[in-house]
Amino acid sequence: MRKSLIAQDVLKKYILYAIGEIVLVVLGILIALQINNWNENKKTNDEVNDLLLALKEDLIQDTLLISEKRSFIIDQYTFNESLRARVANPNATVDTLIEIMHHEFNPNWSEQITYNINSYNSLIQTGLIENLPKKLKATIKNFYNRKFNLRSRINRTTNDYQGKITSYVDTYTFGSTKIHDQGPLIDRLVWEKVDHAHLAATFQGISNFKRILFNETKVEMEFSITNSRALIEEIEGYLE
């Protein structure tokens, strides 16, 4: 057709035809790009949705884990407070303190809950969290930032507490756990001429730290449970 048009010296028609060809090629490229963009967006949305489903499952498992551990942590706190109350009683004697520290007090503290954060880390590291609506993105980031701050505070207190425990077990024996059975000879030698003032200060320091650890852990657990439920609902609303 080009040759025919040129042969007929119909330049205007030829130019129009050429422009038409160019338009068709451009339209074809634009359509191909649009299809490619649509495919990429669908792939990205699918990845985001998969991570949100995984995040939701992580939150559910974390709340179950908290519910499972909470009663044990409360029991530890309650027992610790009962020992403090006995020592603080006006009728308490040195023998009361020795009985508690020698046979009843357990310096150990429950291990912290290990939360599931892989899905959140994936959202952040891949940058896919930026594809979420502003409100949901802010809710997720604020939740985990607050959670990490609370856990960081607990970690600092735990490290301080472990330092006190190290000093305690280097100085005294105690019989509240099976793994700390030192035998009668060591037990007798340690407690035969114990420094009562040092023992009292040690008990006060360790039991105080147990109280602080419980309060910090309680705040973190309550925050996690309450806000996890709210975040789960928001994720479900988005996925619907």
Tokens describing residue 208: 């105080």
* C-alpha–C-alpha distance, residues 41 and 119, integer Å: 20
Q: What is the pLDDT of residue 135?
A: 94
Q: What is the pLDDT of residue 88?
A: 94
Q: What is the pLDDT of residue 171?
A: 87
Q: The tokens 């060809």 sit on which residue?
A: 21
Q: What is the pLDDT of residue 1?
A: 60
46-50-56 Cα angle (round to 5): 145
pLDDT means per 10 residues, the chain with 240 residues, are 59 70 81 74 85 95 91 89 94 93 81 86 93 94 95 91 86 67 77 90 92 91 93 93
Tokens describing residue 27: 């339209």
Tokens describing residue 201: 């200060």
Q: What is the pLDDT of residue 71?
A: 87
